[in-house]
Structure 1
Amino acid sequence: MGRLIAFIILLIPGILAAYGIKLMRDTLFNKLLEPYPALWLQFTLGTLFVVIGIGFFAGFLLNRDRKKGTVAEKFQKRPQK
């Protein structure tokens, strides 16, 4: 059950990033989608969606690898004083 919940939590940012890539692609082909009033706004939101989606996924992997102890020295958490 825990793995299913983790999969769903990772699936949502993945879908968000894929939608962001679609928005940026449609902007490059000069296709304005319905809820967006301008191409520049569509491209900006697409970029934001991609950064948030990939950033969440990368943070999840970094946190998991820190727990396992498989990250390089510079990515280890420093002990609190």
Structure 2
Amino acid sequence: MTLKTSGQTSGPDEFVFPVHSRTIAQIRYDIRGQIMTVIYHDGRSCTTTGIQGPAMLRILAQRPLERSPFLLQTVV
């Protein structure tokens, strides 16, 4: 099963979460590698390894993402 979002296709172990904020366009998460990639509207990206599933869900549950201390400390 693949997930297609914004013209990009992810594999069975990768999820793409569109984010509606001023700076962040989407968050990609690779389950197998526990890698989170934040993609910004200007094309930049930041990758963080070792993010487990429950932590990823806590990050996504926070609104707005720009004010998340955990996201800012680990990715930005």
- TM-score under structure 1 length normalisation: 0.23
Query: Which structure: larger Rg?
Result: 1
- Which structure has more relative contact order (CA 8 Å, sep 6+)? It is 1
